[in-house]
Amino acid sequence: MTQARHELILGGAKSGKSRTAESRAARWLGEGGHRRAALVATALRGKVTGDAEMDRRIARHRADRAARVPQLQTVEAADALGGTLQGLSDPQLLIVVDCLTLWLTQILMPPPGRVASAALWHQEREALLSALRESASPIVLVSNEIGLGVLPMSREARDFIDTLGLLHQAVAGLCGRVTLMVAGCELSVKDET
């Protein structure tokens, strides 16, 4: 069953995915009433991964978001994304998830100290899909479309691309809108609204 109020925004790196999702939140907030918007950030901070550049990237994204959509509250959920969405569920709250690619990466290729598990991936995937089916909130999900290029040489990279592609298909099946971003331009892939 598709949820017309949900949208999946796909695109390559720096294609405008996040800005487009933020514009959806700004438009939602601009419609007045008691509407609120939250961004669920899925990236692990560098202090967990040992990646200082990622910390700088996260800080830059936060500052840019605050300048563009100051009312957009940020919730960090590198783990238990489905549970986080269920906990936030409210028809007056639009949720932006940025992004599914990082979330999946952290489950399948976790940083040191964390363990990858097929069982954990299956559990997290099902929790996300269940949250999308049941959420009272409209949800805008951002993810990278990485399966358009040459098939990588490593088995791990091929497995990741396959898993992400299958996740995109499942999520798109539960969304009324799917948008592909190319060079800052929106291409409508699916629109049941």
**Alpha helices, DSSP H, located in the chain:** 17-30, 46-49, 52-68, 81-88, 100-108, 118-134, 155-173
The torsion angles phi and psi of 139, rounded to 5 degrees, stand at: -125, 130
Q: Report whether 41 belongs to an annotated binding site.
A: yes
Q: Report whether 63 belongs to an annotated binding site.
A: yes
**Which pairing describes strands 3-11 and 73-76: parallel, antiparallel, or unpaired?**
unpaired
Q: Which residues are catalytic?
A: 61
Q: Report whether 134 belongs to an annotated binding site.
A: no
Q: In terms of residues, how long is the chain? A: 193
- Six-digit token string for 26: 């700004």
Q: Report whether 62 belongs to an annotated binding site.
A: yes
Q: Report whether 184 belongs to an annotated binding site.
A: no
Q: Report whether 42 belongs to an annotated binding site.
A: yes
Output the known binding site. Answer: 11-18, 41-43, 62-65, 76, 98
The annotation places the binding site for GTP at: 11-18, 41-43, 62-65, 76, 98
